[in-house]
Amino acid sequence: MSTSPSAVSESAIVTRLRAAGCVFAEDEAQLLISAAPDPAELDAMVERRVVGLPLEHVLGWAEFCGLRVAVDHLVFVPRIRTEFLVGQAAALARALGAERRSRTVVVDLCCGSGALGAALAATIGRVELHAADIDPAAVSCARRNLGTAGGEVYEGDLYEPLPATLRGRVDILLANAPYVPTEAIGLLPPEARMYEARVALDGGADGLDIQRRVAAEAAEWLAPGGHLLVETSERQAPLTVGVFTRHGLMPRLVTCDELDATVVIGTRPER
């Protein structure tokens, strides 16, 4: 019985990936084979994966809400659990859009690759989309991902780079800010610790430093009845709810067991 050369190389790749601890070695091998332009590059890509780079950084893209989102070196890889936040945002945006019959104004703060804004725009359409991040690598990646949605991407600290004309007009404010407590960074998988920027992970002593700053200014930027959505952990959620309340937002906690996702939604009162 003969075996085709491609089957041999695929099984060799699976063996290398499995030995390196990749749980989904077969799936990864197929993705790498379909992405590599030639055998030499395939070998180099497999090697990058074997030494520990996240698959998404090796491929140059991540799948998120059914989209292929470009993810550059050191830029945060959008997590599947965050699709829950986008789903919640889409439901809220639809409700607001039905009331207002105008384009939904969306801001994706701490946007990283821009995956959340891109996915929300693709889901609901008719958006005025703005995104911002402090990390220049994330900003350049987000510009590529949000270009087709007509999104504007700004570089700077939280709200600081946003145009003042957005004040009081934002319907949906997405902020998947870093929320890992500093001491827990060392417990993250090496893929995150070594290949994602520290600024994308570190949320300070209790993980809420950035969320507090986001919440503190949110009511100024949200339209009456507009919503701020942040992802958090089950353990941190009561703290996040408290922060939202202190800053005049009406908090609501939503969870998804299947995706192990916890989101706090803060709504600016209508008056």
Ligand X SMILES: C[S@@+](CC[C@H](N)C(=O)[O-])C[C@H]1O[C@@H](n2cnc3c(N)ncnc32)[C@H](O)[C@@H]1O
Residues that bind ligand X (CB under 6 A): 76, 78, 82, 110-113, 115-116, 133-135, 138, 157-158, 176-178, 199-200, 210
Answer for the pair 155, 137: CB distance below 8 angstroms, yes or no.
no
Q: Which is nearer to ligand X, 128 or 135 (CB)?
A: 135
Residue number with CB closer to ligand X (134 or 219): 134
Cα–Cα distance for residue pair 215/240, rounded to 1 Å: 9
Report the distance separating Cα 88 and Cα 177, nearest Å.
17
We find the least distance from the C-beta atom of residue 2 to ligand X, in angstroms, to be 46
Torsion of CA 252, 184, 178, 267, to 10 degrees: 10
| Residue 105, CB-side half-sphere exposure with 13 Å CA sphere | 17
CB of 196 to ligand X, least distance (A): 8
Tell me 257's DSSP state: T
Minimum CB distance to ligand X, residue 193 (Å): 13
By beta-carbon proximity to ligand X, the closer residue of 112 and 151 is 112
Closest separation in Å from C-beta 97 to ligand X: 22
Q: Is the dihedral of CA 36, 38, 40, 43 positive or negative?
A: positive
Nearest-approach distance from CB 183 to ligand X, in angstroms:
17
Q: From the CB of 192, what's the least distance to ligand X, in Å?
A: 10
Rank residues 17 and 70 by Cβ distance to ligand X and give the closer one. Answer: 70
Q: Cα 23 from chain centroid? A: 23
**Residue 37 neighbours by CB under 8 Å, 6+ apart:** none
Q: Min. distance of Cβ 114 from ligand X in angstroms?
A: 8
Nearer to ligand X, 31 or 75 (CB): 75
Q: Which is nearer to ligand X, 13 or 212 (CB)?
A: 212
Beta strands in the chain (DSSP E): 61-64, 67-70, 104-109, 127-133, 152-155, 170-175, 222-232, 250-256, 261-267
Q: Which is nearer to ligand X, 13 or 195 (CB)?
A: 195
DSSP string, 85-116: HHHHHHHHHHHHHHHH-SPEEEEEET-TTSHH
